[in-house]
């Protein structure tokens, strides 16, 4: 007799980093000092929101142009980020809102508190969103973000990365992660990445070069799947206790 996969898998507590990691300085102030408290969700939190493709403009997922003036485009290495949102049994998760935000090609965010010396690109807003199709597929067109310094230690630099947010069927189900890029030497030196206890987790957070999806003379593609649950789920920053 063939057994179907179980709906849920035992949580692997060695997969996520500890909340307190002294090498990542801001975790000292942000990490909880006591056991986490579980709060009961109300009906309003577990039954919404509902997203539809009509709620999203087709240009929202094109960060090359969604903030640019007419006839202009964001400056930088043009890339495609694409993949699928999957559950723990590799089944597609359709109609899921995926949001992205990132620094520009020089490593600077469009944010009033970002004082890095890199210039602001007037044609790049750094934000996008899309909804997965029936096969759980999503993609963004954007520029490859630059590395930037941050005040962890004297000479700490964040690897190039893009933040991703995935909504479920309720606001309380929002998950946040970030992807890195294959071959970036700064990944191994990043204090945040070093909090991950298993090298396989770093691989899972690394978008892989995808020449099959690359558009000749136009855009380089990287593939990044997002796994929502299970022992080997994608790591989510706002669910360090497990998901």
Q: Which of 24, 67, 109, 138 is catalytic?
A: 109
pLDDT of residue 241: 45
243 pLDDT higher than 60: no
Q: What's the CATH code of the domain at 106?
A: 2.60.130.10
Residue with tokens 């849920």: 8
Tens-digit pLDDT profile for residues 160-208: 999 999 987 776 778 899 999 999 999 999 999 999 988 999 999 999 9
Tokens of 151: 């005040």
Task: Give the torsion sign (CA, 52, 56, 59, 61).
Answer: negative
Partnered with residue 209 across adjacent β-strands are 222
Torsion angle of C-alpha atoms 26, 30, 31, 32, degrees rounded to 10? 160
Q: Could you tell me if residue 146 is inside a domain?
A: yes
Nearest to 7 by CA among 84, 91, 85: 91
- What range does the domain containing 139 cover? 49-227
Tens-digit pLDDT profile for residues 33-66: 888 777 777 777 777 667 766 778 999 999 999 9
218 pLDDT higher than 50: yes
Q: Could you tell me if residue 24 is inside a domain?
A: no
Q: What is the DSSP letter of 132?
A: -
pLDDT of residue 42: 78
Q: Could you tell me if residue 233 is inside a domain?
A: no
Q: Could you tell me if residue 1 is inside a domain?
A: no
Q: Could you tell me if residue 139 is inside a domain?
A: yes
Total of domains in the chain:
1
Q: Which of 148, 180, 222, 229 is catalytic?
A: 148
Catalytic: 65?
no
Catalytic: 137?
no
Q: Could you tell me if residue 164 is inside a domain?
A: yes
Catalytic: 148?
yes
Residue with tokens 């990944």: 187
Residue with tokens 């933040």: 163
Q: Could you tell me if residue 20 is inside a domain?
A: no
Q: Which of 161, 180, 222, 229 is catalytic?
A: 161
């Amino acid at each position: 007799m063939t057994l179907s996969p179980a709906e849920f898998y035992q949580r692997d507590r060695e997969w996520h980093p500890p909340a307190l990691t002294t090498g990542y300085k801001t975790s000292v102030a942000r990490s909880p000092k006591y056991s986490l408290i579980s709060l009961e969700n109300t009906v309003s939190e577990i039954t919404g929101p509902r997203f539809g493709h009509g709620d999203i403009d087709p240009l929202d997922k094109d960060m090359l142009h969604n903030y640019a003036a007419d006839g202009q485009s964001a400056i930088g290495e043009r890339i495609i980020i694409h993949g699928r949102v999957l559950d723990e049994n590799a089944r597609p998760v359709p109609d899921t809102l995926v949001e992205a935000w990132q620094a520009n090609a020089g490593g600077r965010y469009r944010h009033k508190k970002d004082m890095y010396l890199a210039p602001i690109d007037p044609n790049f807003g750094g934000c996008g969103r899309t909804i997965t199709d029936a096969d759980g597929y999503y993609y963004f067109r954007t520029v490859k973000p630059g590395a930037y310094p941050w005040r962890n230690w004297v000479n700490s630099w964040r690897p190039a990365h893009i933040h991703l947010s995935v909504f479920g069927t309720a606001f309380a189900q929002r998950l946040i992660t970030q992807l890195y890029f294959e071959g970036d030497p700064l990944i191994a030196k990043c204090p945040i990445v070093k909090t991950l206890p298993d090298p396989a987790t770093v691989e899972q957070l690394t978008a892989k070069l995808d020449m099959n999806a690359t558009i000749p003379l136009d855009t380089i593609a990287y593939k990044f799947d997002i796994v929502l649950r299970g022992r080997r789920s994608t790591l989510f920053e706002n669910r360090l206790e497990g998901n």
